[in-house]
């Protein structure tokens, strides 16, 4: 099994954050802070409320840059469009489904330049995920409106390695200049009062100043309250000619650029007023917030009329949405259904979800389409809405009719909640699909008997989904069933077959094959637009690699890239589990335990996996619990028993007896070795794990040494364990092997005569820069490599020098260099 090769620039940027609050400093100071932070690769995010001047700061930074500038941004109405902001910046189509490829594609078009992304609050998950990765190799400046609707995890991942610079309030001097530009004849006292009322918001101040400039000298403004910037924007909009107000409102309702022909005479008005700027052949609002305010102040009838016009001017789901907003329900429904007929998986789901919102009769079709597109929670939401509607209207169908129950069971199963799926099937009609779902959601102890009964009830097996479910855990039968389901156009069953095949291979300890099947299935899911399934398979592949102990440094980087996506529950848990185990094995035990603490609400199907990880991490950390968690069949269940044997051995307690389950061969060999407590069986178990899971092979060798009858055999086993652990980066297990060797008076001078401990020239060079106090990002700039590569060299050097920290490794090397001199 090969670890994924390190991809330059795809590690999370590790940067020293500048002070988060520039204080009352002026905009020039904020601009200087941005420029300083982007002297090399890095990510700067300027934040602030609507109208505070975020976009203007980005424009000033771009104007001052000596690099080529690649500018783009998110759009409100197209916030779900994959990598749209990056496509606008690069003027090229982007591979949004593959994060490493997306990063490389953007970098190839922007290298040597400055990447500027405005309006992060309207960017899709792929854009948000890739920006920190690009910042490893590029200077990236972005703007984020506060408040926003980004999820807390997505926001935390975005800002974790960024220089966050809130846009400062206007200073008195800046405010005075702004008022002088907007209303040169305004008296200083009135200008000062307007500054207070604007609350430091330049858009509000400009609007108020322009309005005040048209008042007679004897009139006064109400300055008792600071005022709302939206009110100021509304006042500014009210000063536009009718055509301009209409055009700006149209941009606000569209949430995207529009062709001037759609805006009519108002297009020229907006350009002249600076409220709209060219975007290719289209016009976009210079301030989307201003356009939203313009749409918001339309009276009810005018808004309905505007939406109707936009429904005429657009097509597909966008037209249906505007028709819906205009109150034209029949037209919206017909348009949505028509759009669904020829659309791809994602657009079809979007269209049918809208249709279901208009007519609950389409809820099941919408849920099925959402499931095919990987939008599991949207499927559950539309089913819940339809059920509530039926209940409140005393529908004869009841709160959950048969078809609804089937769709709900599929959704719950996809969320990793088989018990809830079984409960949903109580309302399902008898038939092969119901039997398929019953078998897929059945407890492991009941599956064999249920499968036998279903074979007897369906001797012809004409239903491809049921045939697939009856394939059980036979990988070859599942592969055949998957092909049949694909030929029959049953995407959901095909994905379930692939998923069951990955699980079956992993449970049989065939991790190499499981990883390969998972990657193949991920490719098919990506091509079909099933994002949920794609991420689930990628997470499973990462888990297989980590469980095997293969290329942990690179796996962590790849898994972190995937974790930057907004993932469905099963994939999210799997990828966090993979990162946690990799962190634990490579010595980052505190980080691993913190990550596992966030997995308390794991899907029911993965609770056993998380429970084992918690005990495994505690054992690696030298703080084992009294016993292992309740073990379930399969590889992870067997590993839970193996961890339990180690915990019992280390604590002197009795282990929990393993069930007589059909364990995978390596697991059965290991448990038998513990039962016999003899060196021969442990040697056989170590051989059984060879090429499958390095971490388990090392543990068997450690157990062999502990039960060896003579010191020579123990030392040989410990040296083999140390060698394998070092080769695979299993730092904690390597440390245990070395502690065992010291008990036999075998001590390693981990350093060579020159103090390098077998270090490569590059590793020595990197550690010398560490000794000089340089952070990873600065070392990367000096040496012309990525920060990820720097971290890899540091970890490798730490292992070779026997150091627990990077600082200790640098000190050892420096001391040895001094001795050599």
The predicted-structure confidence for 293-312, as pLDDT tens digits, reads as follows: 788 888 889 889 999 999 99
Determine phi and psi for 654, rounding to 5 degrees.
Answer: -85, 135
pLDDT at 2: 45
Residues 6+ apart with CB under 8 A from 786: 8, 9, 11, 136, 137, 780
pLDDT (average), residues 503-522: 90
Determine phi and psi for 72, rounding to 5 degrees.
Answer: -155, -170
Question: Beta-carbon neighbour count of residue 804 at 10 Å?
Answer: 12
pLDDT at 704: 93
Instruction: Return the bridge partners of 164, or none.
Output: 45
What is the length of the chain?
821
Reference 717, options 694, 699, 690; nearest CA is 699
Give the pTM.
0.57
pLDDT at 331: 95
Q: What is the pLDDT of residues 68-104, one digit of tens each?
A: 999 999 887 777 788 999 999 999 989 888 888 999 9
Residue corresponding to tokens 């095909």: 494
Q: How far apart (Å, rounded) are the C-alpha atoms in residues 69 and 63?
A: 9
Q: 80: part of which helix (H) or strand (E)?
A: none
pLDDT at 353: 92
Residue 167: both structure tokens together = 């846009």
pLDDT at 752 over 70: no
Mean pLDDT of the chain: 80
Pinpoint the alpha helices (H) of 160-284: 172-182, 188-198, 202-213, 229-238, 242-254, 260-263, 266-273
Higher-confidence residue of 312 and 786: namely: 312
Q: 452, exposed or middle or buried, with CB in 10 Å at 0-12, 13-18, 19+?
A: exposed
pLDDT at 27 over 60: yes
Residue 5: both structure tokens together = 């090769």
Q: What is the pLDDT of residues 633-646, one digit of tens each?
A: 788 888 988 988 89
pLDDT (average), residues 735-763: 68
pLDDT at 335 over 90: yes
pLDDT (average), residues 260-282: 85
pLDDT at 442: 86
Task: Name the DSSP class of 58.
Answer: H
């Amino acid at each position: 099994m090969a670890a994924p090769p390190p991809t330059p620039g795809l590690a999370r940027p590790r940067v020293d954050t500048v002070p988060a609050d520039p204080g009352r400093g002026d905009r020039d100071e904020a601009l200087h802070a941005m420029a300083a932070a982007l002297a090399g690769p890095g990510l700067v995010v300027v934040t602030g409320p609507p109208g505070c001047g975020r976009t203007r700061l980005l424009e000033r930074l771009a104007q001052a840059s000596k690099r080529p500038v690649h500018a783009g941004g998110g759009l409100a109405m197209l916030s779900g469009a994959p990598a749209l902001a990056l496509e606008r910046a690069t003027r090229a189509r982007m591979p949004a489904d593959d994060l490493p490829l997306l990063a490389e594609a953007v970098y190839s078009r922007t290298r040597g330049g400055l990447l500027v992304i405005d309006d992060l609050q309207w960017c899709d998950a792929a854009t948000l995920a890739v920006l920190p990765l690009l910042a490893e190799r590029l200077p990236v400046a972005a703007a984020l409106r506060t408040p926003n609707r980004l999820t807390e995890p997505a926001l935390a991942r975005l800002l974790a390695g960024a220089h966050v610079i809130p846009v400062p309030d206007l200073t008195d001097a800046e405010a005075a200049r702004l008022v002088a530009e907007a209303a040169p004849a305004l008296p200083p006292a009135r200008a000062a009062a307007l500054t207070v009322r604007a609350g430091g918001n330049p858009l509000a101040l400009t609007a108020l100043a322009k309005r005040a400039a048209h008042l007679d000298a004897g009139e006064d403004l109400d300055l008792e309250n600071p005022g709302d910037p939206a009110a100021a924007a509304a006042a500014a909009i009210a000063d536009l000619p009718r055509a301009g107000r209409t055009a700006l409102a149209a941009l606000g309702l569209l949430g995207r650029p529009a062709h001037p022909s759609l805006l009519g005479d108002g297009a020229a008005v907006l350009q002249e007023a600076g409220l709209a700027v060219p975007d290719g052949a289209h016009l976009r609002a210079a301030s989307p917030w201003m356009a939203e305010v313009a749409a918001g102040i339309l009276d009810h009838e005018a808004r309905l009329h505007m939406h109707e016009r936009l429904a005429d001017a657009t097509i597909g789901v966008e037209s249906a949405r505007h028709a819906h907003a205009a109150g034209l329900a029949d037209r919206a429904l017909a348009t949505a259904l028509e759009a669904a007929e020829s659309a791809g998986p994602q657009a079809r789901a979007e269209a049918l979800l809208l249709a279901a919102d208009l007519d609950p009769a389409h809820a099941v079709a919408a849920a099925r389409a959402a499931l095919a597109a990987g939008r599991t929670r949207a499927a559950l939401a539309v089913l819940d809405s339809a059920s509530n509607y039926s209940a409140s209207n005393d529908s004869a169908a009841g709160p959950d009719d048969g078809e609804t129950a089937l769709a709900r069971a599929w959704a719950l199963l996809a969320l990793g909640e088989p018990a809830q799926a079984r409960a949903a099937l109580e309302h399902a009609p008898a038939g092969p699909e119901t039997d398929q779902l019953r078998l897929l959601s059945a407890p492991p102890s009941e599956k064999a008997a249920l499968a036998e009964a279903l074979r007897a009830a369906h001797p012809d097996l004409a239903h491809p989904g049921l045939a697939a479910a009856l394939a059980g855990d036979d990988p070859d039968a599942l592969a055949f069933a998957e092909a049949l389901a694909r030929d029959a156009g049953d995407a959901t069953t095909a994905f379930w077959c692939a998923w069951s095949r990955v699980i079956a291979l992993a449970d049989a300890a065939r991790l190499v094959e499981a990883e390969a099947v998972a990657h193949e299935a991920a490719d098919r899911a990506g091509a079909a637009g099933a994002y949920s399934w794609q991420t689930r398979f990628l997470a499973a592949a990462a888990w297989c690699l980590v469980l095997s102990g293969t290329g942990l440094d690179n796996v962590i980087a790849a898994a972190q890239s995937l974790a930057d996506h907004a993932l469905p529950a099963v994939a999210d848990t799997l990828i966090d589990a993979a990162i946690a185990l990799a962190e634990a094995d490579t010595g980052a035990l505190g980080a691993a335990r913190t990550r596992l603490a966030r997995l308390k609400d794991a899907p029911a199907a993965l609770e056993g996996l998380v429970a084992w990880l918690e005990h495994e991490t505690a054992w690696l950390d030298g703080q084992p619990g009294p016993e292992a968690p309740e073990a379930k069949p399969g590889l992870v269940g067997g590993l839970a028993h193996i961890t339990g044997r180690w915990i019992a051995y280390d604590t002197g307690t009795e282990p929990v007896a393993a069930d007589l389950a059909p364990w995978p061969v390596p697991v059965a060999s290991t448990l038998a070795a513990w039962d016999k407590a003899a060196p021969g069986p442990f040697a056989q178990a170590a051989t059984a794990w060879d090429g499958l899971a390095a971490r388990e092979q090392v543990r068997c060798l450690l157990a062999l040494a502990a039960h060896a009858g003579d010191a020579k055999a123990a030392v040989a086993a410990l040296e083999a364990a140390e060698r394998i652990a070092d080769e695979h980066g299993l730092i904690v297990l390597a440390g245990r092997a070395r502690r065992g060797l010291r008990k036999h008076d075998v001590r390693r001078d981990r350093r060579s005569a020159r103090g390098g401990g077998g270090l490569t020239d590059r590793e020595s060079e990197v550690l010398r820069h560490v000794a000089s106090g340089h952070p990873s990002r600065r070392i990367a700039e000096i040496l012309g490599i990525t920060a990820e590569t720097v971290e890899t060299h540091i970890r490798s050097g730490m292992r070779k020098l026997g150091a627990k920290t990077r600082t200790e490794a640098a000190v050892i090397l420096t001391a040895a260099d001094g001795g050599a001199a």
